[in-house]
Structure 1
């Protein structure tokens, strides 16, 4: 399979790449790194990158920024950051990407545990992760050519606990290599419209 991995240089993206690279043709992408540059906040960037690659069997997005702040201090810029990236970035990637997917191809997007379990300073993340889950469930009914779409919703990854662990008191962390298995399941399996919850001990 020919697979595009966006955010391949991130903690999760690196493990997804490792899990798939031995048996598949992998193209890595990121804003400033990878085989090609692709910024999901720009429809022009998405279109240019996908056109340059040609047809694909799978698109994986392990990227999407969100702002964390207390609700009373969330600015319009904070909200817009997540809307442009986590939400509309992945929606636009899907809408453009289906034209570059082969028949029975798949798209795998990324959400997060905060859609299900609240944390302090996580209102924006909860809102946008929840929205992208509903998008995936709904749009799965409309994709052409037997294409599939799923979402991976991970808990905080173990490798990021030093940076983010204080935001997730009492949460089970999940090793990035274990989160990567959910992306593999989405790409190589038959499910569609699903949120695959990589929550560790939950």
Structure 2
């Protein structure tokens, strides 16, 4: 059955891969900071404007991400910590507003990104990502009208590592990561952390 799906972060590496896979079977709307359909999760006004104009949806995917590798003892830690928290707060604000646009039995899939192995500068990002994962596990049981809530934790994505000038062999291809989002939308999972 064809679904109407919003992909927030739809012009980024992961969002583009997710949208491309979904567009084969579904109607996909790509939204981003720089796209034709504009939304910035750091700006509540753009979230309200988006959902005030977009109409009913069957699913929402949020791949919009912010974060930096920041050593906790850095002179810039407080600013980088606040910046990282925007990822958590923005996705939760978006979810709260999006519920009214979702049809019964719809789904929302958020994005975390906790890494299995600690690395220097990852403590802030890990705090934010594990916080998002905990939120999803608990908030999923509070979703109304059969709406399902899940989260994908892609870890390092190969294309992102290339862009950062890092070793790409430790990353997963964006096209493989996209399958986890499709599984969250088309499957029956609820309150789950999907790891590609």
TM superposition score normalised by structure 2: 0.93
Distance 1:122 1:165, change over 3 A: farther
CA RMSD across the alignment: 1.6
- 1:25 aligned to which of 20, 27, 32: 27
Provide the secondary structure at the position in 1 that maps to 2:141.
coil
- 1:178 aligned to which of 160, 176, 179: 176
* Mapped partners of 1:118, 1:163: distance in 2: 21
Q: Give 1:93's aligned residue.
A: 94
Offset, 1:172: 3.3
* 1:5-84 matches, cutoff 5 A: 5-34=7-36, 36-73=37-74, 74-84=76-86
Offset, 1:51: 1.2
Aligned residues: 193
Offset, 1:105: 0.6
* Mapped partners of 1:134, 1:164: distance in 2: 28
* 1:162-201 matches, cutoff 5 A: 162-164=162-164, 166=166, 172-198=170-196
Provide the secondary structure at the position in 1 that maps to 2:73.
helix
Kept in 1: contact 2:10–2:31 (CA 8 A): yes
Offset, 1:101: 0.5
* Mapped partners of 2:65, 2:12: distance in 1: 11
Distance 1:69 1:89, change over 3 A: same
Provide the secondary structure at the position in 1 that maps to 2:138.
helix
* Mapped partners of 1:173, 1:64: distance in 2: 17
Structure 2 unaligned spans of 5+: none
Q: Give 2:135's aligned residue.
A: 135
After superposing on structure 2, the runs of 4+ consecutive aligned residues of structure 1 that deviate more than 4 Å are none
Offset, 1:165: 6.3
Structure 1 unaligned spans of 5+: none
Offset, 1:119: 1.2
Kept in 1: contact 2:114–2:125 (CA 8 A): no
